Chains A and B, each alone.
Chain A
């Protein structure tokens, strides 16, 4: 294994992670909710009465984050083509709903709560992600 030192950002990643944890803390301590993005967005599709405002507000906050920083400081490297992006989005939408969570709900909140379900889910999506990248980067090229 070789480390990609050129892109390795331990401090900003640690600080960003702690902000993510602080945001999850705000949501649970003030609104009593789990900061799981797929669950929050998925709940909007169900359109349950009285359960919409906080979800819309959270998503609005996410969408406003780049604006709050005044500029988008990270230049995203997006290698996937349009077809791959569409397929990936579909799989992420389906998979996170069937699996009851994503990187935030299971990977951050669930692991913080020491939930066995989230530990299994995080292991499954990490393993599948690693396997997918191995196939697309090392087997198909």
Chain B
């Protein structure tokens, strides 16, 4: 256990900064998508449109908090909080820098996988509780998609675990002192990246909420702050996913000249921008294409990567 972890300053600082990042991403994503699509994006409220976040928040808070009379009320209210809570608690194991973080857990990597798999319930229960056919279709898709992509998300990072010899995220970062794992584990990185996009249900894998087919999918019946929870939960999800990618494949806080925390935030920011670029540039596949791509391409690729990494690890010992 690391002595400097888990202080009140750490907890409050990490909580506030992750929520701030998730909120500001609403603006960042819309502006960046606009730039890449040759438009302006929101630029009316405040300098560069930065206060758009505040305007959106005011709108959401003052909307009527409506629960449809045909909904399963308790589950309807519970569903949006699950994604928010699981994603926020996921940040507990992220190694921001030496001495900055909340806990130093020996199974940090598995803890992250556990929380991402619990986050599915948010979408699934939202669709069930809404009692609406589009919501139900959306959440059925979400359940199948997440369970499938979770399988090789887990397998793809086992190569990293083999090379580092531990599930502890801090030790994984330290193990990358001689070279980032992106080079020996490039296949694992690609599979993990695809799975992370699918797990966070963002375009091009946003089939659970595909607007053109399902209105808004699982959150069709949600409005006001409950919708806001899903919205911010999604941004928390991509922030967590890119922090995880940085930790596993890009050497976490390691880097020359700058302090470790700055390196970590910089790399995570680039990861988030990449997520937005992917959303802005790729078309959405059909649902059956998504599933067969997952099981027929990604799963064998992840297993092959595992096999080769295992062979190399055995040979070099």
Do A and B pair up? The answer is: no
Taking Cβ atoms with an 8 Å cutoff, the residues of B that contact A are: none
